[in-house]
Structure 1
Amino acid sequence: MKSSRREFLGALLGAPLVVASGCKAMRHEQSFAVSAEAAPEAAITPRVTNYNASGRALIVEGKTLLVALTFTTSMNQLSGSFPVQFEAESAGSQSLTEEQPLYFYPAGDGRSFRTFLSAPLDAIADSYQLRVTARPQNGAQQQASLPYSVQTGAYRQTTLTLDRNFSNPSPEILEQMRHDFQTMLEIYQRRTERRWSKPFVRPVAGPDRANFGDKRTVNGTKHYRHQGLDYRAPIGTPVHAINDGIVALSGEQWTPGQTICIDHGGGVFSKYLHLSERHAHEGDAVRRDDVIALSGNTGGQRPAPHLHLDLVVNGTHVDPTDFMNTAARLIELEG
């Protein structure tokens, strides 16, 4: 069975794809304890603060924007999503929509909430709507749509030569890829309570290769985006958890090889690929900077030794370095 480019790459990379013609996004509604004050049943128009250099409602593909919403009254329930379109496989095909159910971080007064917005790689540069549904204490449910623009990022073009099974997988390998994809999709749809309160840290001491988002051509035929960040790490380098969390996956997958995925809560996940040894197991609680594995060169790509780190926020792969800086800003605001 032929799969679309997006589905194929999702299988290879474990990407969480929620498309209009396929999987349905899980709606996540949060409830908050607030003071019991009656709210007028008027249209809800929150005040918006965008924590970027310009203050504009602008997101670059693959990057993360911290947004604050402040309402005029306390909110008891809040949910939201940021649907973004991405390019279809071939010219003339319909574009597909990737939903992003959002996780909101209350500021403590019942009126202000913060969330992360991001646009997936290959997102179509256009205007979109952040959709918010809110229910005041003792009030009726209200909705708001807030305009945001997505901008194409500046990423490199690179070429790679890898094992031919990567660009032309056998039916057996493709089935394994699809199984791996479904496993990660189910994990990335989970929404658990936030477990981190300190800034994120680097997984290894070595430098990164600044290759998130690279537009890669493999074996002269396959084209895909590099959805993670590679770090220089000789085989056996200690790999550290980038923050507190629960191990959601510890096992072997075809492309990643030996891999660990940590659920940090709040819709944030980190995944560590090509490991030589795994020292953390599913269900383990890990703390920031714990050694969870040793780096290696495992996986169907037969890569040179290094550590590949995926960082997934609200179901979208994002630039790990950019997200770590954005999350540090959230922690700073929380004081």
Structure 2
Amino acid sequence: MIIVMKKGAGKEALAEVKKRIRELGYKAHVIHGESRDVIGAIGDERGKAILQSLESMPHVEAVVPILRPYKLASREIKPEPSVFELAPGVSIGGKELLVMAGPCSVEGESQLLETARAVKAAGAKILRGGAFKPRTSPYAFQGLEEEGLKLLAAAREVTGLPIVTEVVNPRDVDLVARYADVLQVGARNVQNFPLLRLLGQQNKPVLLKRGMSTTIQEFLMSAEYILSEGNQRVVLCERGIRTFETATRNTLDLSAVPVLKEQTHLPVVIDPSHSTGHASLVPAMCYAAVAAGCDGLLVEVHNDPETASCDGPQSLTPEDFSAVMEKLRRFAAAADRSL
């Protein structure tokens, strides 16, 4: 249910309604609007009719049912797009497109620093890099783990770029959160619900990737796990889905961008690297993603893709990334965005 507060209702009135919601056995999630606040009362659907009694409270204007199964992610509770900081001075969801770039995996200090300096010079605002790598084969490179996190933190000190990196195991959430600015959930973990709940308890933004066989509703329900634990800073990432097509690594579902924009207030970014699997296809997908209405891009860049321990064929060189960013500015302007 959505509890719509009357215009001008103060903090004391808000606290009183929140207290009553909790007494009725529901969680209260406050969404601050421009002219009034609304409260999402989340809990057991079977007894939600009892929440209608809140309409008798003096500062409550209306109690409205949320029809979508994902409550806090829905535009029913927050009609306007969410805009929030991922790190000090770095926001997502507004007019400015956010580009996150870097290597698939952290391999060493020189590799990471060279790439970080290059992506910053080209205009990227966040450095991406994997310290923990979930791989299909147990014999493939699994990442440098905490040593990789330390290298990412060192690169942040040198370049000033905030870092986004993946959390693979629930037991590593606190460890990764000590180093990272943004916590990433990979496609394989999109329905790892214990992990999602733990991330919802962190005071760090979460970049949630869509699973390779996940429907949009399932994707948003996964976001709901994070939101329901109190973490409102969730970014959705479309990274391609599995189809019968073999020409690309995955099939980039660009239609997911306008669909998500219609159904949720959360920001949406595109990963053109994992979706295509080929560096030559990445630029076109970057431009198309901006035209589709995305809020940002997650691009793999490696200083020497031929020697990369992970996903070299889909990684842009620093020179190619710089050229993409230059052209991307024109596409952004055409879409009434900036870069």
Give the TM-score range, shorter chain.
Answer: under 0.3
**Structure with higher strand content:** 1
Q: Larger RCO: Structure 1 or Structure 2 (Cα < 8 Å, ≥ 6 residues apart)?
A: 1
TM-score by length of 2: 0.26
**Structure with higher helix content:** 2
TM-score by length of 1: 0.27
